[in-house]
Chains A and B, each alone.
Chain A
Amino acid sequence: MKVAKRTFDAVIVGAGGAGLRAALQLSEAGMKTAVLTKVFPTRSHTVAAQGGVAASLGNSTEDNWHWHMYDTVKGSDWLGDQDAIEFMVKKANEVVVELEHYGMPFDRTDNGKIYQRPFGGHSQNYGQTPVSRSCAAADRTGHAMLHALYQRNVRANTQFFVEWMAMDLIRNADGDVLGVTAMEMETGEVSIFHAKATIFATGGAGRIYYSSTNAFINTGDGVGMAARAGIPLEDMEFWQFHPTGVAGAGVLITEGVRGEGGILRNASGERFMERYAPNLKDLASRDVVSRSMVTEINEGRGCGSDKDHVLLDITHLSPETINKRLPGIREISIQFAGVDPIKAPIPVVPTCHYQMGGIPTNYKGQVVVPKDGNPNVPIAGFYAAGECACASVHGANRLGTNSLLDLLVFGKAAGETVVNDFKSGQLSLKPLPENAADVSLARIARLESQTGGEDVHEVRLAMQRTMQKHAGVFRFADSLKEGVTAILEVAERAKTTQIKDKSKVWNTARTEALELDNLIEVAKATMISAEARKESRGAHVRDDAIDCAETPNGRDDKNWLKHTLWYSEGNRLDYKPVNLQPLSPEVEPIALAKRTY
Chain B
Amino acid sequence: MSSKRTVQFKIYRYDPDKDDKPYMQDISVDLEESDKKLLDALVRLKAKDDTLSFRRSCREGVCGSDAMNINGKNGLACLTAIDELPQPVTIRPLPGLPVIRDVIVDMTQFFKQYHSIKPYLINNDPAPERERLQTPEDREELNGLYECILCACCSTSCPSFWWNPDKFVGPAGLLAAYRFLADTRDQATSERLDNLEDPYRLFRCHSIMNCVDVCPKGLNPTKAIGKIKDMMLRRAV
Q: State the CA gap A57–B131 with chains docked (Å).
A: 10
Q: Is B101 a contact of A505 with CB atoms below 8 Å?
A: yes
Q: Is B17 a contact of A42 with CB atoms below 8 Å?
A: no
Q: In the complex, what's the smallest C-beta–C-beta distance from B137 to chain A, in angstroms? A: 9
Closest residue of B by beta carbon distance from A152: B120
Given contacts A42-B150, A503-B101, contact A48 B50 (CB under 8 A): no
Q: At the interface with chain A, which of B57-65, B163-171, B200-208?
A: B57-65
**A429: which B residues are within 8 A, CB to CB?**
none
Q: Is A42 a contact of B149 with CB atoms below 8 Å?
A: yes
Given contacts A140-B147, A155-B120, A505-B16, contact A42 B63 (CB under 8 A): yes
Q: In the complex, what's the smallest C-beta–C-beta distance from B187 to chain A, in angstroms? A: 12
The reply to whether the CB of B51 lies closer than 8 angstroms to some CB of chain A is yes
Q: State the CA gap A336–B100 with chains docked (Å).
A: 31
The reply to whether the CB of A102 lies closer than 8 angstroms to some CB of chain B is yes
Given contacts A42-B150, A503-B17, A508-B53, contact A112 B62 (CB under 8 A): no
**B120: which A residues are within 8 A, CB to CB?**
102-103, 151-152, 154-155
Q: Is A106 a contact of B131 with CB atoms below 8 Å?
A: yes
Q: State the CA gap A48–B63 with chains docked (Å).
A: 7
**B34: which A residues are within 8 A, CB to CB?**
248
Q: Is B50 a contact of A500 with CB atoms below 8 Å?
A: yes
Q: Which of A47, A105, A110, A137 contacts B62 (CB 8 A)?
A: A47
Q: Is B61 a contact of A335 with CB atoms below 8 Å?
A: yes
**A252: which B residues are within 8 A, CB to CB?**
60
**B54: which A residues are within 8 A, CB to CB?**
508
Interface SS of chain B: loop
**B56: which A residues are within 8 A, CB to CB?**
216
Q: In the complex, what's the smallest C-beta–C-beta distance from B103 to chain A, in angstroms? A: 10
Q: Is B60 a contact of A336 with CB atoms below 8 Å?
A: yes
Q: Is A215 a contact of B104 with CB atoms below 8 Å?
A: no
Closest residue of A by beta carbon distance from B65: A43
Q: Is B136 a contact of A110 with CB atoms below 8 Å?
A: yes
The reply to whether the CB of B36 lies closer than 8 angstroms to some CB of chain A is yes
Sample of 11 A–B contacts (CB below 8 Å): A43-B57, A44-B63, A100-B132, A101-B123, A106-B131, A112-B133, A152-B120, A154-B119, A249-B36, A457-B46, A506-B100
Q: Is A215 a contact of B17 with CB atoms below 8 Å?
A: no
Q: In the complex, what's the smallest C-beta–C-beta distance from A395 to chain B, in angstroms? A: 27
Number of interface residues of B (CB under 8 A): 57
The reply to whether the CB of A444 lies closer than 8 angstroms to some CB of chain B is no
**B132: which A residues are within 8 A, CB to CB?**
100-101
Q: State the CA gap A512–B54 with chains docked (Å).
A: 12
Contact with A along B96-115 (1 / 0, CB 8 A): 00001110100100010001
The reply to whether the CB of A217 lies closer than 8 angstroms to some CB of chain B is yes
Q: In the complex, what's the smallest C-beta–C-beta distance from A169 to chain B, in angstroms? A: 24
Q: Is A108 a contact of B135 with CB atoms below 8 Å?
A: yes
The reply to whether the CB of B15 lies closer than 8 angstroms to some CB of chain A is yes
Q: Which of B15, B16, B58, B130 contacts A97 (CB 8 A)?
A: B130
Given contacts A103-B121, A509-B50, contact A43 B63 (CB under 8 A): yes
The reply to whether the CB of B5 lies closer than 8 angstroms to some CB of chain A is no
The 9 A-B pairs at the shortest CB distance, nearest first, are namely: A103-B121, A112-B133, A509-B50, A151-B120, A503-B17, A501-B51, A43-B63, A100-B131, A506-B101
| CB neighbors of A among B61-103 (8 A) | 61-65, 79, 100-102
**B139: which A residues are within 8 A, CB to CB?**
105-108
Given contacts A108-B135, A143-B147, A186-B100, contact A43 B121 (CB under 8 A): no
Number of interface residues of A (CB under 8 A): 62
| CB neighbors of B among A141-185 (8 A) | 143-144, 147-148, 151-152, 154-155
**Additional A-B contacts beyond A45-B63, A500-B51 (14; CB < 8 A):** A47-B58, A48-B58, A57-B130, A101-B131, A103-B180, A147-B146, A151-B121, A152-B120, A216-B58, A336-B60, A501-B53, A503-B51, A505-B101, A509-B50
Most buried by A among B79, B101, B107: B101
Most buried by A among B16, B123, B138, B139: B139
Q: In the complex, what's the smallest C-beta–C-beta distance from B25 to chain A, in angstroms? A: 14
Q: Which of B36, B53, B146 contacts A507 (CB 8 A)?
A: B53
Contact with B along A322-335 (1 / 0, CB 8 A): 00000010011001
**B150: which A residues are within 8 A, CB to CB?**
40, 42
The reply to whether the CB of B10 lies closer than 8 angstroms to some CB of chain A is no
| CB neighbors of B among A98-153 (8 A) | 98, 100-103, 105-114, 137, 140, 143-144, 147-148, 151-152
Q: In the complex, what's the smallest C-beta–C-beta distance from A510 to chain B, in angstroms? A: 9
The reply to whether the CB of A189 lies closer than 8 angstroms to some CB of chain B is no
Q: Is B57 a contact of A112 with CB atoms below 8 Å?
A: no
The reply to whether the CB of B47 lies closer than 8 angstroms to some CB of chain A is yes
Tell me the A residues contacting B by CB distance below 8 Å: 39-40, 42-45, 47-48, 57, 97-98, 100-103, 105-114, 137, 140, 143-144, 147-148, 151-152, 154-155, 186, 215-217, 248-249, 251-252, 328, 331-332, 335-336, 455-457, 499-501, 503-509, 512
**B63: which A residues are within 8 A, CB to CB?**
39, 42-45, 47-48, 215
Q: Is A102 a contact of B121 with CB atoms below 8 Å?
A: yes
Q: In the complex, what's the smallest C-beta–C-beta distance from A85 to chain B, in angstroms? A: 23
Given contacts A217-B57, A248-B34, A503-B51, contact A105 B146 (CB under 8 A): yes
Given contacts A108-B136, A505-B100, contact A456 B57 (CB under 8 A): no
Most buried by A among B115, B121, B123, B149: B121
**A45: which B residues are within 8 A, CB to CB?**
57-58, 63
Q: In the complex, what's the smallest C-beta–C-beta distance from A43 to chain B, in angstroms? A: 4
Q: In the complex, what's the smallest C-beta–C-beta distance from B6 to chain A, in angstroms? A: 19
Q: State the CA gap A479–B180 with chains docked (Å).
A: 55
Q: Is B142 a contact of A105 with CB atoms below 8 Å?
A: yes
Q: In the complex, what's the smallest C-beta–C-beta distance from A522 to chain B, in angstroms? A: 18
The reply to whether the CB of B49 lies closer than 8 angstroms to some CB of chain A is yes
The reply to whether the CB of B213 lies closer than 8 angstroms to some CB of chain A is no
Q: Is B60 a contact of A251 with CB atoms below 8 Å?
A: yes
**B47: which A residues are within 8 A, CB to CB?**
455, 457
**A100: which B residues are within 8 A, CB to CB?**
131-132
**A331: which B residues are within 8 A, CB to CB?**
61
Q: Which of A40, A97, A332 contacts B107 (CB 8 A)?
A: A40
Q: In the complex, what's the smallest C-beta–C-beta distance from B35 to chain A, in angstroms? A: 11
Q: In the complex, what's the smallest C-beta–C-beta distance from A343 to chain B, in angstroms? A: 19
Closest residue of A by beta carbon distance from B60: A251
Q: Is A506 a contact of B53 with CB atoms below 8 Å?
A: yes
The reply to whether the CB of B195 lies closer than 8 angstroms to some CB of chain A is no
**A217: which B residues are within 8 A, CB to CB?**
57
Q: State the CA gap A299–B123 with chains docked (Å).
A: 57
